[in-house]
Structure 1
Amino acid sequence: MKIKIGVLLLALLSGCDDSAPVQKGFAGLGDSAVAFTPVVPGRPFSFPADHGVHEGFRIEWWYVTANLKDAQGRDFGVQWTLFRSALNAAPQASGWRNQTIWLGHAAVTSASVHHAAERYARGGVGQAGVQAAPFEAWIDDWQFSTQASAAEPLANLQLKARDRRFSYALRLTSNRPLVLQGEQGFSQKSEQGQASYYYSQPFFQARGELEIDGQRYTVSGPAWLDREWSSQPLTANQTGWDWFSLHLDNGEQLMLYRMRHKNGAPYLTGTWIDVQGRAQTLHAGEISLVPLDTANVAGRSMPVRWAIKIPGKQLDVITQSLNPNAWMDLRIPYWEGPVRLSGNQGGTGYLEMTGY
């Protein structure tokens, strides 16, 4: 979904108000959000407007991952995420009266190194934000911005982030259609009806420069954009998720996630995307997603190797983490890193695991 990772920001919000109630479910995302706009089926999407901010909703995020190689065939991963969270459902004021919090996460991963960084900002003062036309998302000097026309803002984008241990500057291009996840963009997260609006661009090709610990690399490879917004994406019984975005070598794409519960079986779903960009929702009975090997990461047992089977698509693969120690050691910690596929299909992708 990544739900992507985006929904983690609400854990931060509980620290902004000493009177906040005890969190229910993972990161407080099972708490009631009755004052905010609900997510309901049948909403028509409108582009480029939906690339921008959705006031009235509790949380949304712009999330990019890229699986990259250099000329020597060495593998790397890059993540860039911007989260917006509203402290109330009212229209947001300008200046310091603004009740929006922004959070940025950026990371790079190689087979031996994983570095992550974060930025925080208050809305209304220009330090962070998103505009739909021309498209630009930023927090401080971290930027995700269009280099294309207003009519096709996601055809050509620049992605930048910098920290003391790493930096990257990538150009992302695609002439492929956007993909609406779930049922025409209504992405359900539980049997009780929790959901988000969710679309992706899984067909980006990335190219640019990456620097890790003073070593510079020229890299290229596939990239994936996820966009989601919601007001209550989890139930109080849900403890976290395992989310995959996979680029198959035959040109098809696969998104899967399972929402884990304190009690009962996980909520499991996904999307199969063919080479033309046509999406098909996958239901739990059509998916086998089984954790295999674990690794001790930051004092936690993390499933870093998985078996995935989609019998209806003749897919039978194993995902192996490029770097099992891809722990995002931030104020809101989680695991996220690139994976490689083996089995009856090759490929690359990203895995995110929260709530462990």
Structure 2
Amino acid sequence: MKAKAMALLTVVLLLAACDDKPEEEKGFAGLADDAAHYAQVTPGKTFLFPLDHGAHNDFRIEWWYITANLKDADGQSFGVQWTLFRNALPRSNTAPQDNHGWSNRNLWMGHAAVTSQDEHYAAERYARGGVGQAGVTLAPMSAWIDDWALTSHASVEDPLTDMQLEARGAQFSYRLHLTSSKPLVLQGQQGFSQKSEQGQASYYYSQPFFQAEGSLEIDGKTYQVTGPAWLDREWSSQPLTENQTGWDWFSLHLSDGADVMLYRMRQKDGEPYLTGTWINGDGSTQRLEAKDIELEPQDTTEVDGRDMPTRWSVKIPGKDVDITVEALNPQAWMNLQIPYWEGPVQISGSQKGVGYLEMTGY
């Protein structure tokens, strides 16, 4: 789950020109709003690539999301985040979602951030669909908003094998080359990712095997960096219930070559909805259910006037995993239209490693 997508719902009035004011939002950031006018997520979808790397205009929300855990030649650690979101206005009776010009029903938003042990900077951009400022194309694949872009090389058959990533803000910029020779991963049940006991869900796949190499600039100083990167692709129309207050999402690269995705959907009443995916080094997967996972916050940090759990205990007994996941920079606060916490983490315990953590709704 990606908090940045939720912020799109707060800027509808800014970009929707003369569209009617939306009804009062239900659930966290409106993601429990009625989705009768949009396409629905159901089990059994057959994913088609490269087609599913592109936009799904009949669904209300989707995102293209990259995180990278990077180091320079001196061993200094950094984190990079890049996200593009598409949010559909209510379906028009007379025009398709992807119509050209200002009648286009899509809104776009980009988030970019860099994190070091001492600094965290974030930036955001917005666009209305149909006017050429943002979008996603295939052959070659390109997802962009203004000059922020995730672009594949035209000569490759699979766009996720060779890509270029770039973005900039007032205090930072980065340009990374992403490569992978391993397959993408369907999350949940063959890409059907359930979010609640009531059946809310998304379509969700990842490429957790990217290797990144390139340059990163922070406060005018440039670093040459390398490290693992992770792509998430997700789309839905109503992924949450009114009872869900936010989530804690983890992507973890373990030292033995395995990767792990976990998320905990917190609720006003009752236990959190907890699930995940164990990803072997060859790309084969095992779905993790709540009974397979022990996920508990350990220590908190005061961040922007609220207590955020920036140190976690993660146990997966069936995989002999007993680790501590701790923020590289506890102050990795995304002070954007809707604020949330997101930043790189370091792993210790039964395995070493790195990863990313996102926390919303606190």
Q: Please give the residue correspondences for 1:245-264 in structure 2 after superposition, counting only pairs within 5 Å.
A: 245-264=251-270
Paired position in structure 2 for 1:309: 315
**In structure 2, C-alpha distance between the alignment counterparts of 1:107 and 1:166, rounded to whole Å:** 8
**In structure 2, C-alpha distance between the alignment counterparts of 1:188 and 1:7, rounded to whole Å:** 18
**In structure 1, C-alpha distance between the alignment counterparts of 2:221 and 2:334, rounded to whole Å:** 21
| Residue 325 of structure 2 is aligned to residue 285 of structure 1 | no
Paired position in structure 2 for 1:55: 57
SS where residue 43 of structure 1 aligns?
A: coil
Shift of 1:148: 5.0
Paired position in structure 2 for 1:296: 302
Unmatched 5+ stretches in structure 1: none
Check whether the contact 2:323–2:350 (CA below 8 A) recurs between aligned residues: yes
SS where residue 11 of structure 2 aligns?
A: helix
Q: Which moved more, 1:86-95 or 1:220-229?
A: 86-95
Letter of the 2:43 counterpart: P
Unmatched 5+ stretches in structure 2: none
Paired position in structure 1 for 2:5: 6
**In structure 2, C-alpha distance between the alignment counterparts of 1:185 and 1:131, rounded to whole Å:** 22
**In structure 1, C-alpha distance between the alignment counterparts of 2:142 and 2:326, rounded to whole Å:** 34
Paired position in structure 1 for 2:358: 352
1:70-95 per-residue CA deviation (whole Å, 9 max, x = no partner) reads 00000000000000000023522101
**In structure 1, C-alpha distance between the alignment counterparts of 2:9 and 2:110, rounded to whole Å:** 13
> Normalising by the residue count of structure 1, what TM-score does the alignment of the two structures yield?
0.97
Letter of the 2:22 counterpart: A
Shift of 1:12: 3.0
1:203-239 per-residue CA deviation (whole Å, 9 max, x = no partner) reads 0000000000001100000000000000001001111
| Residue 108 of structure 2 is aligned to residue 102 of structure 1 | yes
Q: Please give the residue correspondences for 1:181-220 in structure 2 after superposition, counting only pairs within 5 Å.
A: 181-220=187-226
Question: What number of residue pairs does the alignment pair up?
Answer: 355
> Normalising by the residue count of structure 2, what TM-score does the alignment of the two structures yield?
0.96
Shift of 1:5: 4.5
TM-align CA RMSD: 1.3
Check whether the contact 1:205–1:221 (CA below 8 A) recurs between aligned residues: yes
Check whether the contact 2:324–2:347 (CA below 8 A) recurs between aligned residues: yes
Letter of the 1:345 counterpart: Q
Paired position in structure 1 for 2:25: 23
Q: Please give the residue correspondences for 1:65-144 in structure 2 after superposition, counting only pairs within 5 Å.
A: 65-90=67-92, 91-92=96-97, 93-144=99-150
Match of residue 174, structure 1, among 157, 166, 180: 180
Paired position in structure 1 for 2:160: 154
Paired position in structure 1 for 2:40: 38
Shift of 1:13: 2.9
Check whether the contact 1:141–1:161 (CA below 8 A) recurs between aligned residues: yes
SS where residue 52 of structure 2 aligns?
A: helix
Letter of the 1:86 counterpart: A
**In structure 1, C-alpha distance between the alignment counterparts of 2:22 and 2:278, rounded to whole Å:** 40
Q: Assess, with a 3 A threshold, how the Cα gap between structure 1 residues 105 and 72 changes in structure 2: closer, same or farther.
A: same
1:141-166 per-residue CA deviation (whole Å, 9 max, x = no partner) reads 00100025352111100000011200
Check whether the contact 1:58–1:89 (CA below 8 A) recurs between aligned residues: no
Q: Assess, with a 3 A threshold, how the Cα gap between structure 1 residues 181 and 316 changes in structure 2: closer, same or farther.
A: same
Check whether the contact 2:3–2:340 (CA below 8 A) recurs between aligned residues: no
**In structure 1, C-alpha distance between the alignment counterparts of 2:293 and 2:8, rounded to whole Å:** 29
SS where residue 318 of structure 2 aligns?
A: helix
Letter of the 2:39 counterpart: T
Sequence identity, in percent?
65
Q: Which runs of 4 or more aligned residues in structure 1 lie more than 6 Å from their structure 2 counterparts after TM superposition?
A: none
